[in-house]
Amino acid sequence: MKLDLSPTSWGRVIAVTIAGTAFFIAVAFFVDSFNFPYLSPEAVWRAQMTDLMLPLVLGGSFLFFLMWKIRQLAIAQRDLSVIAATDSLTAVLNRGAFSMLVEAYLEQTRKQEQTRSGALLIIDADHFKLINDRLGHDCGDQALKLIAQAIKGQLRGGDIVGRIGGEEFGVFLPGVDPSQSWVVAESIRRRIREMDFSPGGRPCPLSVSIGGTSFTGPITYEEIFSAADRRLYTAKSNGRDQVSFDPAGAAPVPPPSVATVH
C-alpha cells in the first residue's frame, strides 16, 4: 500500500512530524554526547532523558502544528482552484477551464509522434429563451442543471465537459473515432429529449442541438471549435433537436517543418 504524501494528506503531516522529531532528538544526543564522559551514570541518564523528551514534546508539537496548518492551506488552495474552474450553477467546468484543458491535451498531441484522435461536441439548449420567458429564470436554471447532469451521465471518466455559454455546453472526447463520437452525441440528445421536466406541474419538453467534429493528428482548439460550431449552426438551421457531425474533422495543423512557398 502506497503512502499518500500529497500536501492535503494526513500521511504527509505524520511523516514529516516523525522524521523531523527524530532528527531533533538525534541532534540533541549528538551535541550532548560530548559531555557524557564527564558525567556520572545518573547524570548521563538524566541528560539522555532530557535529550529525548525535550525534542519529542517541543519539536514534535511544533512540527505537527506547522504541518497541520500547511495541510489546511493546501486544502483551501485546492478548493479555491476547483471553485475557480467550475461553473457554479451546473457544477461542470467553466469556459476558461474547459478550453485550457482541451488545449493542453491538443498541445500534448502535437508533441507526440503517434497519431491521436478525438472529437469536440457543442451542445446548445433549444428555445431556451422561451423557457426563461414563460417559466422564469429559476426554471431555466433547473433546466440547465438537468441538461448538465444528462450530459455527464453519458460520458466516460476521461471525457471533459464544460459550460461554454449561457445555454451552451462543450464536450471533448479524447481518443475516440467519428462513429463513437456520433453515438455519444446521439445518446446525449436522446437522453435529454426523454427527460421529464415539469416545473410546477407544467410539462416543458427539453431538447438540444449538437454540432460535432472529429480530428486525427495535430490541430488547435480554435480549429476544432470553429468546425463544431459550424455543425451546430447546421443542426439549428435544419430544425433543431438533432446531431450534425462532421466525420472528416477539422483541417489539421501542418507540421512545423513544412514550409509554405508564396
262: pLDDT strictly greater than 90: no
| Angle subtended at Cα 203 by Cα 91 and Cα 182, rounded to the nearest 5 degrees | 55
Average pLDDT for the chain: 86
How many angstroms separate the first and last alpha carbons of the chain?
Answer: 61
Concatenating the DSSP letter of every residue in 123-165 gives EEETTHHHHHHHH-HHHHHHHHHHHHHHHHHTS-TT-EEEE-S
- Of the residues 103, 107, 113, 167, only one is catalytic, namely 167
Inter-residue contact 222 to 155 (CB < 8 Å): no
**pLDDT grade for 79, boundaries at 50, 70 and 90:** confident
Locate the DSSP E strands across 183-252.
208-216, 243-246
Active site residue 223: no
Spatial separation of the C-alpha atoms in residues 189 and 108, rounded to whole Å = 30
Model pLDDT for residues 115-149, shown as the tens digit of each residue: 678 999 999 999 999 888 888 889 999 999 999 99
Model pLDDT for residues 14-73, shown as the tens digit of each residue: 999 999 999 999 999 988 888 888 888 888 899 889 989 988 999 899 999 999 899 888
Single pTM value for the model? 0.71
Please state, for a pLDDT cut of 70, what percent of the chain lies above it: 91
